[in-house]
Structures are given as C-alpha cells and as structure tokens.
C-alpha cells in the first residue's frame, strides 16, 4: 500500500454516513424528514441523541403535559398521526412520544437510519469533504462519525427543572419534571400548593392541580403574569373552521403593519386585547403560548391566591413560615405547604455560545436560539435542511437574530421582532425552494383551515411578500440598533470562529 493510500484509508471503527443529525427531538425529526426527500434508499443517516430514545424534550418533560396545539400539526414533515382522535385533540406526552416513534419508522422506509442513543456529541471538525463528529456514550465509549453533512438540531435546549432551593425546613419543594402532581405524596397531602411561575408549565400545573383536587388550596406566584394566544380563535373545531377563526398569516401580516421596531409596548397592548387570554388579572409577558378560554376560566376560578411577584425563598421566622419575594414582600404560608418550581426554562445562565446557523464551509447546520431564523425549532429543522440539500443555505440572505439576547434585553420586543423575522425569511425561502417543500409542510398552522379559506391569504402573500420583506428588514434593523444585538445576514453578523454550541 502506498503512503498516499495509507493516509486516505478509513480509520478502524469510524462510522460513515451522508448526514449526521444530532438531536432526535422535533427539530431533528423534521431535519430527518427533509433529508429523506433527497437521499436514496442506500444512503445513510446517523441519528444521535443523549437520551435513550427519540423524542427530545418530550422524553424528560413533566408527565401531565399536553400539546398546546392540535396534534396533527406537531409532526415530522407531513407524516400523519395514527391516533384516530379528533383534529382538535391535545395529545398527551405518551401519545406524542408514540408519534415520534411512528415518524422514525416511516422515514426508515425511505432511507437508512442508524440510531446512536445515550450518546453526547463532544466535537465536530469540518474538513474539505466531510465533517468529523466525535461523540461519547453514557458508558464512556467513543464514537467517531465521518459525515458529509452535520445538522446540530439542538432547538431551544430545554432541560428539566430542579426543585427550588429553600431555607425553610417546613415546606416540600418539588419540580414537575420529577414529581407527578397527580400522584404520590403530594396527592396524599392536603396541604396548600404554591405554583411558582406563570408561564405554560405553571398554567399546566395549576390546571392539573385544580381539576384533580377540587377544593384544595392552590396558589400561584405569577411574576409579571403571562398572556396566551386564544386557541379557540385560531383553531375553531369542526365545521366552524369554514367560517370562524383567524389564520396566523393574517395576524402576522397585521403585526408587521403595526410594529415598526420601536413601538412594542403599544403593539403588546393591542395584541393582548385582540387575540389573547390570561388567567391572572395582570399579564405582561408573552412567549407564543396557546390556551383556551375554558382553561383560563378553570385556572382563574380555581386559584385561591395570586401573587404578582417573583419567588426568592421560603424561610422559617418566629415560629412561622414565610415566602419571601424579590420585591422584599413576604407572605405567611401553612407549614407543610408544597412549592412547585414551574419557572422558565430559558435562563440567561443557560445560554449557549454563539454559532452561525450554517458554517463557513456550508456543511454544518446549527439550530439554536443564538442564531435564530424562523419561529419554532421544527420549522428550522424542516426548511434549513431543504436549503442545505439544495446548496442554497449560504447564498440565501436569511436574517439571523440572537433571540436569547433580545429576550434578555427586551422581553416585550422579542415576540414582535420574531414575527418580523419569520415574515422576512419565509419570503426568501419561498423564492428558493420547490413548491413541494411548502405543500409537504404539515407544520403550517393555517393548514387547519380548508383550502378555499386559505386561498386569499396565499394569493396576498404571493403578491406582497417582497414588499413585506422590505418592511420586515427595516423592523429588524431598527431592533438591532436599539438593543445592540446580533441581527442581520451572516455576512453582517456571523462570527464563524466562535466556540461551537454543545449538545
């Protein structure tokens, strides 16, 4: 064997594939679906995840969680559910995980998929022809993967919440990710419960407690309060979808016409009053959650006490136990009370380092909030993978936004800048992918409505999306300048030499 042959021979034990996808959650599954549209049956994908199965954050999340959207639109590509339930049904955790398994089975009929579960990616080095990915399994075994393309489908990187640390010896501090509030000691107790956090997890937990324990004292520490988009308005059930409801494209267009990059407080008030619901009288936080009017009523009527402040500690003083809040206020509570940590998962101290959504060499895609280009992780996995295989991901001038930094600096501006980002980038994607990419997109919320109802909106988009894109770009540039965040095309905002995002 020549010296040149020795240098180019594959190393023993190296796994080779056409695509390596790290992350088997909703982003990774949509990336896998999109990749399967370009690969042949004899080509291979290696799917890596640190968990022991497909499902991403749904593997770890609290057991009583349900989808906040109708289940047909939570899928990989256009793979249909086998649940047999009405379209408006909100699937449970186990039903969602079963659907992930079904999606993987369907995709495996199109392309070879090797699974590496219980494995964490440690590094990735992009060369001229391939990307060398090094991973380590739970038992310490090292896996080296030589891939033509790498997709880091990390999404928002949600990890389970630990119980809150408290000074008091007389409270039970738990987390819904490790304590099913429907069972065990909390069920056997009659002591009051304090739900800490007013977001989606807090509302799920409050609703579950109120419906499972009628008459029990359930309290909420809600921070600034959160408002939610009315599910009933955007997903009317049954035949009502022919005449009732509001399409998301319509709202996106209205928001783009109202928001100029400086007036988020005004737009915030308008959106909350027009399209939203909130179980607490005060509500100033929005993070794209959905809730029905009936859920709102159940929660607001079932809560015993609502504190519009932030939890700091629970302490024992002078023979009593008190909650201490960030403002300095206190509240005496019954000893033996339960504290359930439902605070936000996207904490500043958990922010990943920056990495561009596509590498300089064009072979590595990174899906994470520091380089955000669409609205939900599933859409990133789906559309960015299509652009990757069409060899257009580097050339299409998508805007990236450091959504983590923007939310830290202005939680009010964050959702409306996100709407502008989606309008801008979907317009560009529409011009650069085959129409089948959009027709196979089962994630589209507006697909809830019959085609005749969607047709006017589609025609309007086709006629006006370039003009809307120009306005969206102006909005994003304004937000960038006001808040000093990374926002722009990769040529403006990328720092390719930054430390890579880790799983």
| Sheet with 320-325: strands ordered across | 311-317, 320-325, 330-333
Q: Is the pLDDT of residue 340 over 50?
A: yes
pLDDT in tens, 76-133: 999 999 999 999 999 999 999 999 999 999 999 999 999 999 999 999 999 988 999 9
Q: Is the pLDDT of residue 333 over 50?
A: yes
CA distances from 150 to 9, 48, 363, 386 (A): 21, 11, 6, 13
Q: Is the pLDDT of residue 216 over 80?
A: yes
Place 346 in a pLDDT band, splitting at 50, 70 and 90. low
Instruction: Determine the length of the chain.
Output: 503
Q: What is the pLDDT of residue 412?
A: 93
CA distances from 419 to 247, 264, 374, 413, 424 (A): 14, 12, 9, 10, 9
Q: What is the pLDDT of residue 479?
A: 97
| C-alpha span between 17 and 495 (Å, rounded) | 28
Instruction: List strand residue ranges (DSSP E) for 60-141, in order.
Output: 112-117, 119-126, 131-137
Average pLDDT over residues 256-279: 95
Average pLDDT over residues 249-265: 94
Q: What is the pLDDT of residue 496?
A: 37
Which helix (H) or strand (E) segment is 44 a member of? strand 44-49
Tell me how far the alpha carbon of residue 398 is from its chain's centroid.
Answer: 20
Average pLDDT over residues 412-418: 94
Q: What is the pLDDT of residue 186?
A: 95
Q: Is the pLDDT of residue 500 over 60?
A: no
Q: Is the pLDDT of residue 492 over 80?
A: no
Place 157 in a pLDDT band, splitting at 50, 70 and 90. confident
| C-alpha span between 113 and 121 (Å, rounded) | 17
Identify any residues that bridge with 229 across adjacent strands, giving them in sequence order.
276, 290
Q: What is the pLDDT of residue 8?
A: 40
Place 349 in a pLDDT band, splitting at 50, 70 and 90. low
Task: Using CB atoms within 10 Å of the CB of residue 249, give its burial: 0 to 12 exposed, 13 to 18 middle, 19+ buried.
Answer: buried
Q: Is the pLDDT of residue 1 over 50?
A: no
Q: Whole-prediction pTM value? A: 0.92
What six digits make up the tokens of 121? Answer: 């990616």
pLDDT in tens, 12-49: 579 999 999 999 999 999 999 999 999 999 999 999 99
Q: Is the pLDDT of residue 58 over 90?
A: yes
Residue ranges of domains in the chain, CATH in brackets: 10-159+348-493 (3.50.50.60), 172-227+278-341 (3.50.50.60)
- Phi/psi for 440 (5° steps) reads -90, 5
In sequence order, the 6+-apart residues with CB closer than 8 A to the CB of 128 are: 361
Q: Is the pLDDT of residue 264 over 60?
A: yes
CB atoms under 10 Å from CB of 139, counted, come to 7
In sequence order, the 6+-apart residues with CB closer than 8 A to the CB of 121 are: 22, 48, 133, 134, 135, 152, 502, 503
Q: What is the pLDDT of residue 13?
A: 75
In sequence order, the 6+-apart residues with CB closer than 8 A to the CB of 282 are: 222, 224, 225, 308
pLDDT in tens, 59-87: 999 999 999 999 999 999 999 999 999 99
Place 288 in a pLDDT band, splitting at 50, 70 and 90. confident
For 144-186, the three-class secondary structure string (H helix, E strand, C coil) is EEEEEEEEEECCCCCCCCCCCCCCCCCCEEECCCCCCCCCHHH
Q: What is the DSSP letter of 383?
A: I
């Amino acid at each position: 064997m020549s010296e040149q042959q020795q240098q180019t021979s594959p190393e023993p034990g190296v796994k080779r594939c056409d695509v390596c996808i790290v992350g088997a959650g909703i982003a990774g599954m949509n990336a896998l679906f999109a990749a399967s549209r370009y690969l042949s049956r004899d080509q291979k994908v290696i799917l890596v995840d640190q968990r022991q199965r497909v499902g991403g954050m749904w593997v770890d999340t609290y057991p009583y969680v349900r989808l906040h959207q109708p289940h047909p639109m939570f899928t990989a590509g256009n793979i249909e559910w086998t649940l047999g339930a009405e379209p408006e049904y909100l699937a449970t955790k186990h039903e969602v995980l079963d659907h992930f398994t079904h999606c993987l089975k369907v995709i495996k009929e199109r392309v070879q998929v090797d699974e590496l579960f219980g494995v964490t990616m440690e590094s990735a080095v992009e060369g001229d022809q391939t990307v060398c990915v090094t991973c380590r399994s739970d038992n310490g075994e090292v896996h080296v993967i030589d891939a033509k393309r790498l997709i880091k489908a990390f999404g928002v990187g949600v990890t389970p919440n630990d119980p809150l640390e408290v000074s008091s010896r007389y409270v039970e501090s738990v987390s819904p990710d490790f304590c099913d509030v429907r069972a065990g000691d909390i069920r056997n107790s009659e002591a009051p419960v304090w739900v800490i956090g007013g977001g989606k997890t807090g509302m799920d937990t409050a609703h579950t407690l109120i419906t499972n324990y009628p008459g029990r004292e359930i309290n909420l520490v809600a921070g600034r309060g959160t408002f939610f988009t009315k599910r009933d308005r955007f997903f009317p059930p049954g035949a009502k979808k022919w005449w009732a409801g509001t399409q998301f494209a319509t709202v996106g267009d209205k928001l783009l016409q109202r928001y100029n990059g400086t007036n988020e407080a005004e737009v915030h008030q308008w959106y909350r009053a027009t399209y939203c619901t909130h179980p607490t009288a005060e509500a100033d936080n929005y993070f794209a959650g959905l809730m029905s009017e009936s859920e709102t009523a159940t929660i607001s009527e079932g809560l015993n006490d609502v504190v519009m402040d932030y939890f700091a500690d629970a302490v024992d003083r002078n023979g009593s136990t008190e909650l201490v809040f960030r403002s300095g206020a206190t509240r005496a509570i019954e000893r033996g009370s339960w504290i359930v940590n439902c605070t936000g998962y996207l904490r500043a101290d958990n922010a990943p380092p920056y990495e561009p959504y596509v590498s300089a060499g064009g072979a590595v895609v990174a899906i994470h909030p520091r380089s955000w280009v669409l609205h939900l992780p599933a859409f990133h996995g789906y559309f960015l993978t299509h652009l990757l295989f069409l060899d257009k991901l580097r050339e299409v001038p998508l805007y990236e936004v450091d959504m983590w930094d923007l939310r830290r600096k202005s939680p009010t501006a964050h959702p409306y800048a996100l709407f502008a980002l989606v309008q801008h980038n979907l317009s560009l994607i529409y011009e650069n992918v085959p129409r089948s990419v959009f027709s196979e997109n089962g994630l589209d919320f507006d697909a809830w409505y019959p085609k005749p109802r969607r047709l006017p909106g589609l025609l309007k988009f086709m006629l006006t999306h370039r003009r809307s894109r120009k306005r969206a770009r102006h909005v994003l540039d304004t937000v960038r300048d006001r808040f000093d965040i990374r926002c722009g095309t990769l040529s403006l905002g990328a720092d390719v030499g930054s430390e890579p995002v880790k799983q």
